[in-house]
Amino acid sequence: MSDYQRICLVHYHEIGLKGHNRKAFEQRLVHNLEALLAPFPVVTIHRISGRLCVFLKEGCPAEVALDCASHIANVPGVARVSCGFKCERDIDQMTKAGIAAMSEAGHMESFKVHARRSHTDFPINSQEMNQIIGGNLSDAFPDVAVKMKDPDVTVGVEVVQNASYVYARSIAGIGGLPVGVSGRVVSLLSSGIDSPVASWKLARRGAEVVGVHFSGRPQTSDASEWLVDDIAHVLERTGCIARTYIVPFGDYQRQIALTAPPELRVILYRRLMFKVAEEIARREKAGALVTGESLGQVASQTLDNIRCTDAAVSCPVLRPLIGTDKLEIIREAQRLGTFEISSQDAPDCCTLFMPRNPETHAKLPRVLEAEALFPIDQWVAELCDSAEVHDYRCPSYKRKR
């Protein structure tokens, strides 16, 4: 157990962060981390010269600090997180903290010290600190070589106004922007593999995500709804989803299936989904819809069909996976932690009433003609009103209703 207070130092990319943007970004990230780190023994989070410092409680074990750092690394807006100690601005103390940090950094054959001082009131410059602390650590770890280029471990030493921070363990973060700085989107969330990844990508760019799931209920069981809830809980861990609307869609699909030309069914279902999602976006004050579509992946994802579904709404439809191969999406879903859930079978409204030969090159006038047989506006209102709302923890999201 070390004598020094444990800290996690959060680094973010500063590119494009100027003036008001920068302040809003930092404040948002602090608030998001404060809420998301509730399960960890955190005392407080401060901004220190281009970094955020998460102070952990006295006696916090090394494994808990590492767990906390791994959690932070997955929060949008975090470029890197380092695990270490706070100590006085004193070379002896920094050396001792460096020894403690290196002892916990696992096996290494080489290291170097990278020092940085944000206040020139500290008399020793960074070059000198590298040499002095590097020499001291080298004496303490005679079997570990000093290596300037690509060492196994870089010991970071950061001297600020009234303290210094020393770390040896560092984890790459997922980058992006803190959730809440880029507005709000409504994401069409199936229980499949693609749409959770698409939703996450928008959250990673700072958007609050409100999910809409169309369930086959009452024509099917509610199995897909449970999977969507499991997926939302995974996204919730890093503050990437605010709520979901679960819309029972089965009876409406059935009515379309009974009367519309079979090859146009899928397009008509999808246009109705988009219209419902747009109405929810209006109620939620969201600026765009999001889908997990990827060009040519299935019949509905051709350019002609995308044109016909987009024509159902006037708000922008974002498709962050449009140019991504299925295997790449699967890898992202595995990293995100939703793949296993999405791989479970559940009859959702897409598998229900599927025609044998869906149209792949729909023409809008024909689609509009087929759609004119249905009281679409009334259906949209009914579907929105029958939606069940589930709330998740998204720190920036202001709840209403």
Q: Does 190 bind Mg ion (CB under 5 A)?
A: yes
Site string for ligand ATP, 283-322 (x = CB under 6 A): --------xxx---xx-xx---------------------
Would you count residue 211 as binding Mg ion (CB under 5 A)?
no
Report the run of H or E that residue 259 belongs to, with start and end: helix 250-259
Distance from C-alpha of 37 to C-alpha of 135, rounded to nearest angstrom: 36
Q: Are 348 and 190 spatial neighbours (Cβ–Cβ below 8 Å)?
A: yes
Count Cβ atoms within 10 A of the Cβ of residue 149 and give its class: 0-12 exposed, 13-18 middle, 19 or more buried.
exposed
Binding window for ligand ATP (CB under 6 A); candidates: 52-60, 139-147, 165-173, 345-353:
345-353
CB 131 within 8 A of CB 172: no
Q: Among Mg ion, ligand ATP, none, what binds residue 188 when CB lies within 5 to 8 Å by partner kind?
A: ligand ATP
Q: Which residue has the tokens 């499949």?
A: 192
Q: Looking at 20-28, 120-128, 212-220, 230-238, which segment touches ligand ATP (CB under 6 A)? A: 212-220
β-bridge partners, 155: 113
Q: By CB under 6 A, tell whether 192 contacts ligand ATP.
A: yes
- Rounded CA Rg of the chain: 26
Chain position whose Cβ is nearest to Mg ion: 192
Nearer to ligand ATP, 189 or 367 (CB): 189
Q: How far is CA 156 from the centre of its chain?
A: 27
State the binding string over 246-285 for ligand ATP (x if CB under 6 A, else -): ----------------------------------------
- Residues 350-379 touching ligand ATP, rule: CB under 6 A, are 350
Stretch that binds Mg ion, among 38-46, 47-55, 89-97, 348-356 (CB under 5 A): 348-356
Residue 296 burial (10 A CB sphere; 0-12, 13-18, 19+): exposed
CB of 348 to ligand ATP, least distance (A): 4
Neighbouring CB atoms inside 10 A of 211's CB total: 28
Residues that bind Mg ion (CB under 5 A): 190, 192, 350
